[in-house]
Amino acid sequence: MQPFGLSILRALGAAALALGLAMPLAARAQQAPANTLDAVRGRGHLICGVNTGLAGFAQPDSQGNWRGFDVDYCRAVAAAIFGDATKVRFVPTTPQVRFTALQSGEVDVLSRNTTWTLSRDTSLGLDFAATNFYDGQGFIVRASAGVKAAKELDGATICVQPGTTTEQNLAEWARANRVRFTPVVIETLAEVTAAYLAGRCDSYTTDVSGLAALRAAQSKPEDHLILPEVISKEPLALTVRQGDARFADITRWVHFLLLSAEEFGITQGNVDQMLNDPRPEVQRMLGKTGGLGPMLGLPENWGVAVLKAVGNYGEVFERNLVPIGIQRGPNALWTTGGLQYSPPFR
């Protein structure tokens, strides 16, 4: 048996060690503002976490200006808050650091291809505000390989990024279908796609939207085939920190505004004319009646600012994703058989 005094000393030492380990984590957590909207306004711009470079979604152009579907969502949130879509800074994030960047306050919102799952929703201190793109995981191969179906990849090497739902989906699908494969795990998007294009792996797997972006970027897209199988559901969602309901509401209702605007025929070019539209829902969306803006902590005309900046959901989709071969599919409005649906503005 240990002497009583020694036991006390050891217990105190263990407690001090535990406190020492906990302090950096607590200090880091305190860096994240409790009120994101006030922090963004005080700073003078929104900080948005985006992909490191994915055609159609988030990619800098030759002048260094960020373009893409996810980028337009960042600009839309900035327009809602400031009435100015240029008041946003973009931070490229990899799958490995994206959640830490949001948790620590390095970014205010993630607008990048991030799948909403139960474990992420409950264990990371994050909230998924809205699914702005419904996707699914697929495979791409070189057309010369003669592969026509995913099960023909038995024995293949498959490129995949770590720290993603893609990696887990691949393992589960292969096990269920008795497909043997050798994973080639590479962290960054640029490196993993380069590995596939260089022939280091027989196939590359990720969201079908990402495969379409990769294929469209090639000088001969016909040299690459996206296989028909979609092996998972990937609801890609805007993500904010947990515990800040006001900022989550702003992010969520910016998405709903883009959907409702498309449904009611409000475009980037006709917003001013639509201010005179007599339909009650349109009047509330554009801040003529209803007093909805202050409920979000925003000006009454926040909807007008957003739509003048980026247009409606269909315009954002058409501008960024149709040119790389992505069609609406499940991302069509509910009125045309899709899944995109907004609650009422009232």
Q: What DSSP assignment string belongs to 168-217? A: HHHHHHHHHTT--EEEEE-SSHHHHHHHHHTTSSSEEEEEHHHHHHHHHT
92 with 149, same domain: the answer is no
When computed from its CA atoms, the radius of gyration of the chain, rounded to whole angstroms, is 23
104 with 61, same domain: the answer is yes
Domain final residue, candidates 207, 232, 257 = 232
The pLDDT, as a whole number, for residue 16 is 38
246 with 166, same domain: the answer is no
- CATH at 68: 3.40.190.10
In sequence order, the β-bridge partners of residue 171 are: none
User: What is the Cα–Cα distance from 342 to 338, expressed in whole angstroms?
Assistant: 12
Domain final residue, candidates 232, 255, 285 = 232
Phi/psi of residue 67, nearest 5 degrees:
-135, 150
Two tokens at 8? 């006390």
Mean pLDDT value across the chain: 91
| Tokens 């406190």 -> residue | 19
The pLDDT, as a whole number, for residue 253 is 98
- Domain contains 74: yes
User: What is the Cα–Cα distance from 118 to 133, expressed in whole angstroms?
Assistant: 17
- Domain contains 344: no
79-99 pLDDT tens trace: 999 999 999 999 999 989 999
User: What is the Cα–Cα distance from 321 to 207, expressed in whole angstroms?
Assistant: 14
The pLDDT, as a whole number, for residue 163 is 84
- Number of domains forming the structure of the chain: 2
Domain final residue, candidates 214, 232, 250 = 232
118 with 202, same domain: the answer is no
Residue spans of the chain under pLDDT 50: 1-30
The pLDDT, as a whole number, for residue 38 is 97
- Domain contains 4: no
Answer yes or no: are the C-beta atoms of 266 and 274 closer than 8 Å.
yes
Pairing label, strands 156-160, 181-185: parallel
How many CA within 13 A on the CB side of residue 333? 19
Q: Where are the beta strands (DSSP E) in 123-168?
A: 126-135, 137-142, 156-160
pTM of the model: 0.87
- Domain contains 181: yes
Residue range of the domain that includes 158: 137-232
221-256 pLDDT tens trace: 999 999 999 999 999 999 999 999 999 999 999 999
